[in-house]
């Protein structure tokens, strides 16, 4: 069973994402900020992190992504950045931080499911 960590400071968005994914065979955990996400990623070792870019606190989504990619002791999870910021420069910043892909909010449940399926599709 694949493990997914949902990271967003809005509980309602985490809940909507969870509801979208709970029909699949995933173990789903949630974090409400960047610091919690990093701690949980260390112990959970998720296969995928769905990561909001803009979060309160000292560690935003871009920094979380950079740290996940820099941790050579763990198998780096796939990362889908989720953000209301959809400018080309925002997307580029997400990809440069190490994200596998970048989805702009609001996105449909089908978009998210397809995005995840593409990440795990055989090459």
Q: Where are the domains of the chain?
A: 2-120
Q: What are the tens digits of pLDDT across the range 17-38?
A: 999 998 889 999 999 999 999 9
Three-state secondary structure call for residue 63: helix
Q: What are the tens digits of pLDDT across the range 47-60?
A: 999 999 999 889 99
- Residue bearing tokens 């493990």: 3
| Domain spanning 2-120: CATH 3.40.50.2300 | yes
pTM of the predicted protein model: 0.94
Q: Which two tokens stand for residue 35?
A: 């610091």
CB 66 within 8 A of CB 94: no
CB 112 within 8 A of CB 17: yes
Q: Residue 60, Cβ neighbours under 10 Å: how many?
A: 18
Three-state secondary structure call for residue 102: strand
């Amino acid at each position: 069973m694949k493990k997914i960590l949902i990271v967003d400071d809005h509980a309602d968005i985490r809940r909507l994402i969870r509801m979208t994914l709970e029909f699949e065979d995933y173990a789903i955990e949630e974090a409400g900020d960047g610091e919690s996400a990093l701690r949980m990623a260390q112990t959970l070792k998720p296969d995928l992190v769905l990561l909001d870019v803009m979060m309160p606190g000292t560690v935003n989504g871009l920094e979380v992504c950079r740290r996940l990619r820099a941790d050579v002791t763990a198998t780096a999870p796939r990362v889908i950045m989720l953000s209301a910021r959809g400018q080309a420069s925002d997307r580029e910043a997400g990809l440069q931080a190490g994200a596998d892909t970048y989805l702009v909010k609001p996105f449909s449940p089908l978009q998210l499911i397809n995005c995840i399926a593409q990440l795990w599709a055989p090459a």
